Amino acid sequence: MDGIIAAPMSQRPIIIAVIGGSNAAHKDLDAAYQVGLELAKRGAIVLCGGMTGVMEAVCKGAKEAGGTTVGIMPGNNVEDANDYIDIAIPTGLGFARNAIVARAGGAIIAIDGAYGTLSEIGHGLSDGTPVVGLNTWQFIIDGKEDTTIERADNPLDAVEKALAYAEGRRA
């Protein structure tokens, strides 16, 4: 067993979780596609919920740039993964899988405003995973906005912010 090239954590590719609804507006799908493309160009693995909408668009972008995609799926059947998922993990957990998606990346990019996305943002903020928002939910409590989510101006900005967070966390 000599001569093996180990893959210790510092050398593993960074994983970025991208969250967003299964039914999204055209502009959000475009943004997701660009996010996937830019993440893959920078060598990051795209992890998502594995289904349609934002999840499919971000994987499509990542695959166009030759990246790797992982889908943490709610159901039991690998066949339900979108066509741009390389590694499909059918958890069978339903929406409880959102907690895994929110934890599995070095940072989260949240796009669009589905309720599942809301739960994933909540999980991410609970866990201390940095969340970068791109046209997504704002949260108000006691009349004041919670500004923990870092807002991005565009897909490239979101990618750069998320990667900076993820790199910082493993430094």
142: left (phi over 0), alpha (psi -120 to 50) or beta: left
**Nearby residues of 169 by Cβ (< 8 Å), 6 or more positions away:** 106, 107, 130
Q: Is 108 in the site for its own copies (CB under 8 A)?
A: no
Q: Is 6 in the site for its own copies (CB under 8 A)?
A: yes
Interior/surface letters 26-55, b for 16+ CB within 10 angstroms, e for the rest: eebbebbbbbbbbbbeeebbbbbbbbebbb
Of residues 66-105, those binding its own copies (CB under 8 A): 69-70, 72, 76, 78-79, 81, 83-96, 98-100, 102-104
Of residues 131-160, those binding its own copies (CB under 8 A): 135-142, 146
Interacting residues toward its own copies by CB under 8 A: 1, 3-9, 12-13, 15, 33, 45, 47, 60-61, 63-64, 69-70, 72, 76, 78-79, 81, 83-96, 98-100, 102-104, 113-123, 125-127, 135-142, 146
